[in-house]
Chain A
Amino acid sequence: MATDKTTSFVGQLCFGSIEEDLILPYPKMKPAEQETFKSIRSSLEQLLKPHEKDFREWDAKGDFPATFIDELKQFGLFSLIIPEAFGGMGLSATAYSRTLQEVASYDGSVAVTIGAHSSIGMRGLVLFGTDEQKQRFLPKLATGEMIAAFCLTEPGAGSDAASIKTTAVKDGDHWVLNGNKLWITNGGIAQFYTVFAKTGPQGERGNVTAFIVTRDMPGVSTGPHEDKMGLRASNTTTVHFDNVKVPASHVLGEVGKGFKVAMKILNSGRTGLGGGSVGAMKRMIALATKQAKERVQFGKPIAEFGLVKQKLGNMMVDCYVTESAVNLVNHLIDSGHEEYAVEAAITKVYGSEAMWRTIDEALQIAGGNGYMREFPYERALRDCRINRIFEGTNDILRLFIALTAMNEVGSSLKELSQSLKGIFDNPIKGFGVISEYARRRASLATDLIKRDKAGFSKLHPALQKQQVTFEELTRDLATAVDRVLRKHGKNIIGKQFATRRLADIMIQMFVLACTMSRVSTAVQEKGAAGATKELEILEVYDQRVRRIVRANIGQIDENEDELVKSLADFAVDQERYIWDNVD
């Protein structure tokens, strides 16, 4: 298959093809945008650094003062992704994500306030809005006169977004909205809400519609600011709609296409979270290395002890590989590539987990101090926990990643069986499908037939060893996907243990591919000597991915899944742990 705008790198990996043109050469921010970004970075430092002590206080209090939100508005932080024509900065996905990274390195609550506004709150307007809607709202959203919030989640509809109960009923040239939304970031400070409501019978995806609702419409109200574990200063509330009359001109996208609107918003917003993760990790590395150098135990700085080195080294690897994947997916988005949902979800899953590990280890290096509120570690840890939950839990996203990526292989299998049936009606077409798929399978099995794109051709020779591994792993992945699909057929939907294993393989392999791209390009530019540390990072990560992939593949056929499930069922049945050493 040719590389076009609808080719998914991970989807093709499942076929055993490496679409290297999608990831090589490793992208760089355009010089003009770098200049703009550097200006933003230095201004952000002036804006946020003086507030470092305040952030701790606002976390304890659980709110930002209104004056600080005003300061953010005047600074222009709500204008990042709005096109220049509407008074915004018009940042690319790459520059936007890099800016969020910078903000997140100062404070998570600020990052999520900005991110919820730009990444999801008003992204629907940018993606699907009519000219009239854009003219009307974008300039106000750019100045922060209107802050935006994304209203999808409901008490009974979290991961299962299609089960929302908020309704919109057509009444002449209006829709009448009724319902309650939960955990809405910026809920209490927003004036612009992207709201999803049922416009037809329950339970079907086709009956959801997206609406623009503004705070001034009668019947819109918000609940109190939630008392959260982390991101405490960021505003989170319920939002209520009580017979809210919404003009028909406020429909976002098409009536009945709201589910698609929601998914598209979430897909394109996910790299912002990846950027935020990288920012938090960089800050932790700076804090932890300083701590390791200054803290003396047993007569020497703890940086000299092996177990501290192990943590610091792992943090470097995690941060570098996450940054590589986030940058590459942003580049795909910026270059107009259409198929990046799986890859964006990977950056969210990998980034949020790498960030959790990194902050947790930084806290460990700080020891008792890490547990004290006086130091920034515990707040960072609390702040980052939600990243594995919101904007699609990592569990749901794992299933999404594997099932979406395998979808095409599944269709090929289906096509194969269909074409067998009709082979005599149209032998040429049937033969084409069979031969293509048969060839892929045969080549996977024997490695004797030359496959298309079975390997890299553009990597720097310094990466020869990793290239060989990656090509082997790709073949292993494709074989595993084929085997799992043949074994479970469409029942794969219910096989979450198996799906998760495949997802974990895909996640690691995509992040590894991005890292290889970056290191290869670094070696090309700086020479192997100039990129020594980057080659070391790759060496470490490559070994690790190989072990993870092999372990997961090994468990496809031999595992204790059924026993684990049976124990879970038992626990659920008992609703408690039944053993004790007291009779």
Chain B
Amino acid sequence: MPLKILVTAKRVEDSESKIKVDAAGTGIVKEGLKYKINPFDEIGVEEALRLVAKHGGEVVVVSVGTKDVHEQLRHALAMGANKAVWVHHDGPIDQLGIAGCLQKVVEKEKPDLCILGKQAIDDDQGQVGQYLAEWLGWAQATFASKEESLESEAEKAKTPAIQLAADGKSITVIREVDGGLLTVSSPLPAVATTELRLNQPRYASLPGIMKAKSKPIEELTPAGLGVDVGVKLTVTKLAPPPARKAGIKVPDVATLVDKLKNEAKAL
């Protein structure tokens, strides 16, 4: 049964960039930063490509933002996604706005399954997948993971972890819960969000990058989709983690035990 899968590609700061809080204390200094696709979203793209490789179908990638998000859309296209949708929005936007745009794109594209990162590594809000499922009235299988390790043979063979039922009408997703795994089943259409251990995303090969150049990117706008993207949630303060205090050296084990017991109260 061919599947149509919608995935997302949020543009986020590269985790290896040096992040500094700006003068206003509510954002970060953007100069000199490198950007990439949100790693959780990239895992979503990979899972979708594996599902489509196994069952047939197509993968549509969506991103909301300025023209810069073309880089992330092209990245997903170069990995193998078939087409891209760019919701062009230059101003500020929050999770409600993003989920609203995605809802309208889903209603337009009518995918069988949406796979989103469980959160984005920039602000770690982790809300969009849930809003989207709620507003669509679909079931949601969050934090999709798998039993096999990322070094396993199944992973090397690029087998999808999300299982599609033989009749093509439902999926089975393994979720990581505290101390174990929980397997859930959901009818399609559904929303799934990805955990880090779901898969190891492929890299876009150079021929893939060349092919991506001629793949279509459809431009939409929140207004055109009829979505109000007025921001409701605002950042009031952004603070870096406090600098760590320097450690101390202890002369012997006895002192260490003493300090752990009486100063740190760890024993």
**Complex partner residue of B75 from A39, A76, A84, A87, CB under 8 angstroms:** A39
**Complex partner residue of B206 from A42, A46, A75, CB under 8 angstroms:** A75
**Complex partner residue of B203 from A38, A75, A80, CB under 8 angstroms:** A75
- The B-contacting residues of A in range 42-59, CB under 8 angstroms, are 42-43, 46-47
**Nearest chain A CB to B42 CB, angstrom units:** 10
Bound Cα distance from A76 to B206, whole angstroms: 5
Cβ-defined contact, A39 with B71, below 8 A: yes
A407 interface residue (CB < 8 Å to B): no
Bound Cα distance from A89 to B209, whole angstroms: 9
Cβ-defined contact, A38 with B71, below 8 A: yes
**Nearest chain A CB to B40 CB, angstrom units:** 16
Chain A interface category by residue count: 10 to 19
Q: What is the total of A-B residue contacts with beta carbons within 8 Å?
A: 46
Residue picked from B71, B75, B203, B212, most chain A C-beta under 10 Å: B203
Closest to B68 in A: A35
Given contacts A36-B213, A42-B36, A43-B78, contact A79 B70 (CB under 8 A): no
**Complex partner residue of B205 from A35, A36, A76, CB under 8 angstroms:** A76
Chain B interface category by residue count: 10 to 19
The secondary-structure label for the interface of chain B is: helix
Cβ-defined contact, A43 with B209, below 8 A: yes
- The A-contacting residues of B in range 20-79, CB under 8 angstroms, are 36, 70-71, 74-75, 78
**Nearest chain A CB to B200 CB, angstrom units:** 9
Cβ-defined contact, A89 with B206, below 8 A: yes
A413 interface residue (CB < 8 Å to B): no
Chain A residues, Cβ within 8 Å of B36:
42
Chain B residues, Cβ within 8 Å of A38:
71
Chain B residues, Cβ within 8 Å of A35:
70-71, 74
**Complex partner residue of B209 from A39, A46, A47, A87, CB under 8 angstroms:** A39
Cβ-defined contact, A79 with B207, below 8 A: yes
A74 interface residue (CB < 8 Å to B): yes
B188 interface residue (CB < 8 Å to A): no
Chain B residues, Cβ within 8 Å of A74:
205
**Complex partner residue of A43 from B71, B203, B213, CB under 8 angstroms:** B203
Given contacts A84-B210, A89-B210, contact A47 B203 (CB under 8 A): yes
A77 interface residue (CB < 8 Å to B): yes
Bound Cα distance from A358 to B208, whole angstroms: 36
Bound Cα distance from A188 to B53, whole angstroms: 36
A40 interface residue (CB < 8 Å to B): yes
B19 interface residue (CB < 8 Å to A): no
Chain A residues, Cβ within 8 Å of B209:
36, 39-40, 43, 76, 89
Cβ-defined contact, B207 with A39, below 8 A: no
- The B-contacting residues of A in range 6-60, CB under 8 angstroms, are 35-36, 38-40, 42-43, 46-47
- The A-contacting residues of B in range 72-111, CB under 8 angstroms, are 74-75, 78
Bound Cα distance from A46 to B201, whole angstroms: 9
B204 interface residue (CB < 8 Å to A): yes
Chain B residues, Cβ within 8 Å of A77:
206
**Nearest chain A CB to B226 CB, angstrom units:** 30
- The A-contacting residues of B in range 177-213, CB under 8 angstroms, are 201, 203-210, 212-213
Contact bitstring A126-152, B, C-beta under 8 A = 1, else 0: 000000000000000000000000000
Cβ-defined contact, A46 with B203, below 8 A: yes
Chain A residues, Cβ within 8 Å of B213:
36
Chain A residues, Cβ within 8 Å of B201:
46
Bound Cα distance from A266 to B81, whole angstroms: 40
Chain A residues, Cβ within 8 Å of B74:
35, 39
Bound Cα distance from A40 to B71, whole angstroms: 11
Cβ-defined contact, A75 with B212, below 8 A: no
Bound Cα distance from A77 to B205, whole angstroms: 9
A-B contact pairs, 22 of them (CB 8 A): A35-B74, A36-B209, A36-B213, A39-B74, A39-B75, A39-B78, A39-B209, A40-B206, A42-B75, A42-B204, A43-B78, A43-B203, A43-B204, A46-B201, A75-B205, A76-B207, A76-B208, A84-B210, A87-B207, A89-B206, A89-B209, A89-B210
| B interface list, Cβ under 8 A from A | 36, 70-71, 74-75, 78, 201, 203-210, 212-213
